[in-house]
Amino acid sequence: MSDAFDVKVEKRANCAVLRTEGYVNNLGGEKISEKVDQLIDTGITVFIINFEKSNIVNSIGISILIEVIEKLVDIGGKIYFTNLTKTISKTFSIMGLTQFAEICETEDDAIKEVSK
């Protein structure tokens, strides 16, 4: 399996959207975490992570996402996960990520939630 991973960022008025592409393992998780840290430094505290082009998240990737969630909880931020496969959605639920993060079916759904 390729370690190729990319994350594209779109800043919006009230949040940042991160669109992942590739396998979310230790490298992918670290790239997500780095982007979130950079955006937090600019004052952004609400994030939407779109996993449409990421079909696999391994345990190390999940542990890094948990660290990201903890950072956001500490600063009163919020995170939404969108476009998850059924397997990833179930895994996130089992691992407890859904206690502190919202899961939305689509990016548009998450944007609507953020705008409420």
Instruction: Identify the CA nearest to 26 among candidates 60, 53, 72, 57.
Output: 60
Q: Which two tokens stand for residue 109?
A: 């759904």
How many folded domains does the chain comprise?
Answer: 1
**CB 48, CB 14: distance < 8 Å:** no
Tell me what pLDDT residue 4 has: 85
Tell me the pLDDT tens digit for each residue of 42-90: 999 999 999 999 999 999 999 999 999 999 999 999 999 999 999 999 9
Q: Which domain holds residue 40?
A: 5-114
Instruction: Identify the CA nearest to 85 among candidates 45, 47, 56, 108.
Output: 56
- Give the CATH number, domain containing residue 63: 3.30.750.24
The overall average pLDDT reported for the chain is: 95
